[in-house]
Amino acid sequence: MRPPRERIVVKARAGWMGMGRGAGSTALGLFQILPAFLCIFPSVTSPCKILKCNSEFWAATSGSHHLGAEEAPEFCTALRAYAHCTRRTARTCRGDLAYHSAVHGIDDLMVQHNCSKDGPTSQPRLRTLPPGDSQERSDSPEICHYEKSFHKHSAAPNYTHCGLFGDPHLRTFTDTFQTCKVQGAWPLIDNNYLNVQVTNTPVLPGSSATATSKLTIIFKSFQECVDQKVYQAEMDELPAAFVDGSKNGGDKHGANSLKITEKVSGQHIEIQAKYIGTTIVVRQVGRYLTFAVRMPEEVVNAVEDRDSQGLYLCLRGCPLSQQIDFQSIRSAQATEGRARRKGPSLPPEAFTYETATAKCREKLPVEDLYFQSCVFDLLTTGDVNFMLAAYYAFEDVKMLHSNKDKLHLYERTRVLTPGNAAPTGTHPTLWVALLCLCWLCLL
């Protein structure tokens, strides 16, 4: 067995490229702290759309780091378009650090490049990659191609799959299948190479039915392969680029070992991280997001201290307190014809148990857990898009799962795994301390 791959963590060099490569150092400096800020305080980015403005401007000016006199008008046009974009989102961005940094940066660039505030504001042109950049470079370091590096030392790697979809249903790397509440922000993956976090919000006010409304993926800097990159998707915004507007791993020699491909505009993107043998699929189905990943076991388990990882849903599953007893609810569905969750506001009963099963059977003929999840979601939300979410989740399993005999699952898992034993919000050490305190009081 070959030794574990060395991890070298390097702070992101690119930072926010919101001012374009032709920008002055003063304006660019305003954006250096924003990626970390946005990850720590993700709510700041919604509903403010400054991220989209930054990406469009970077894409329009990414080749302008050597501006000639003849290119200055084009840069000024892109800059005016950038300013126009910030004005459109001004109302929803009050108090947003990224927004105010962009506004001040635009003013600085207008002065530096002698740009007039009056003039054409055509939409920024899409960034065009130089010849040969659309494919992985033949001289890319071997370490940046996981399978080539792996085969040189040992047998083929074992791949695992994790997926999250619907209201929400989780399939872990160990093929455990759970239906969970998990409202708010939760980590899906947290290892030495990348972090994935999802945010689940109520489908309707007052209802406990939730779905994924936001997704953040952080690819950590790795050797000579990739710079740190951040990808963010939210409801009604599924970008085909990282937050800095780029579509690959940055400026390193093996940058194309990390690439984003748009499969269906606004609905389906795929991220290939060849340097860690990982494929990620993100979809927007209706208003909500689905997530699926194929990852080698070695990467899945590449954590510095597994026992202290806390909640890592793809590896450990949902905490017991967050799991929904699907079997008992399903029995109630069959008996009563519908499922009701406690809450002051529930959707109109658009489906009975019979009509929900008939609808789900159109896309999912095998009555496995994906079919059952479809029925469950139609009854609890009344939204037919949840049927499509279950369908596409199973399509992703067929593409990403390495064991074709395990595509269908029939028995839902409700287990208490290590690290998830404590009640919500309470650490096991605290319970031990409380018990000791009670014992001392009795002496």
pLDDT > 50? residue 298: yes
Question: Average pLDDT of 40-66?
Answer: 63
Q: What is the pLDDT of residue 333?
A: 55
Is the residue at 343 inside a domain? no
The pLDDT tens digits of the residues spanning 164-222 come to 999 999 999 999 999 998 899 999 999 999 999 999 999 888 777 899 999 999 999 99
Is the residue at 260 inside a domain? yes
Q: What is the pLDDT of residue 329?
A: 60
**308, exposed or middle or buried, with CB in 10 Å at 0-12, 13-18, 19+?**
exposed
Q: What is the pLDDT of residue 377?
A: 92
330 and 308 in a common domain: no
Q: What is the pLDDT of residue 326?
A: 63
298 and 151 in a common domain: yes
Higher pLDDT, 224 or 171: 171
Is the residue at 431 inside a domain? no
- Point out the least confidently predicted range of 77-86, 187-196, 221-230, 326-335: 326-335
Return the ∠ at Cα 102 (arms to 101 and 107), rounded to 5°. 100
Q: What is the pLDDT of residue 133?
A: 41
Q: What is the pLDDT of residue 84?
A: 82
Q: What is the pLDDT of residue 277?
A: 94
Is the residue at 441 inside a domain? no
pLDDT band for position 397 (cuts 50, 70, 90):
very high
pLDDT band for position 308 (cuts 50, 70, 90):
low
CATH code where residue 151 lies: 3.40.1000.10
81 and 62 in a common domain: yes
pLDDT band for position 328 (cuts 50, 70, 90):
low
Is residue 338 within 8 A of residue 207, CB to CB? The reply is no
Question: Average pLDDT of 302-312?
Answer: 68
154 and 290 in a common domain: yes
Q: What is the pLDDT of residue 209?
A: 83
pLDDT band for position 151 (cuts 50, 70, 90):
low
Q: Which of 220, 263, 256 is nearest to 134 (CA)?
A: 256
Is the residue at 191 inside a domain? yes
Is the residue at 122 inside a domain? no
188 and 262 in a common domain: yes
Higher pLDDT, 277 or 103: 277
194 and 94 in a common domain: no
Q: What is the pLDDT of residue 285?
A: 96
275 and 209 in a common domain: yes
Q: What is the pLDDT of residue 422?
A: 34
Is residue 59 within 8 A of residue 113, CB to CB? The reply is no
Q: What is the pLDDT of residue 243?
A: 93
- Distance (Å, rounded) from C-alpha 180 to C-alpha 329? 13
Taking each helix axis from N to C end, the angle separating 369-381 and 385-400, rounded to the nearest 10 degrees, works out to 160
SS3 content of the chain, % helix, strand, coil (to 5): 35, 20, 45
Looking at 64, 96, 113, which one is the last position of a domain?
A: 113
165 and 251 in a common domain: yes
Higher pLDDT, 28 or 307: 307
Q: What is the pLDDT of residue 313?
A: 93
- Distance (Å, rounded) from C-alpha 231 to C-alpha 281? 12
294 and 154 in a common domain: yes
The pLDDT tens digits of the residues spanning 277-293 come to 999 999 999 999 999 99
What domain count does the chain have?
Answer: 3
pLDDT band for position 87 (cuts 50, 70, 90):
confident
Q: What is the pLDDT of residue 119?
A: 72
pLDDT band for position 117 (cuts 50, 70, 90):
confident
- Point out the least confidently predicted range of 63-72, 133-142, 316-325, 371-380: 63-72
Question: Average pLDDT of 2-7?
Answer: 43
Q: What is the pLDDT of residue 335?
A: 56
The pLDDT tens digits of the residues spanning 405-424 come to 999 998 765 544 444 433 33
Question: Average pLDDT of 351-367?
Answer: 94
Q: Domain span at residue 393?
A: 326-336+348-406
Is the residue at 62 inside a domain? yes
Higher pLDDT, 432 or 116: 116
Phi, psi of 85 (to 5 degrees): -65, -40
pLDDT band for position 29 (cuts 50, 70, 90):
very low
Is the residue at 222 inside a domain? yes
Average pLDDT value for the chain? 75
The pLDDT tens digits of the residues spanning 235-275 come to 999 999 999 999 999 988 889 999 999 999 999 999 999 99
Q: Which of 324, 68, 295, 261 is nearest to 174 (CA)?
A: 295
pLDDT > 80? residue 126: no
Q: What is the pLDDT of residue 309?
A: 56
Looking at 113, 133, 167, which one is the last position of a domain?
A: 113
Is residue 256 within 8 A of residue 133, CB to CB? The reply is yes
222 and 154 in a common domain: yes
Higher pLDDT, 191 or 328: 191
pLDDT band for position 349 (cuts 50, 70, 90):
low
294 and 368 in a common domain: no
Q: Which of 318, 324, 288, 322 is nearest to 211 (CA)?
A: 288
Looking at 113, 138, 160, which one is the last position of a domain?
A: 113
Q: Which of 170, 169, 143, 146 is nearest to 158 (CA)?
A: 146
303 and 179 in a common domain: yes
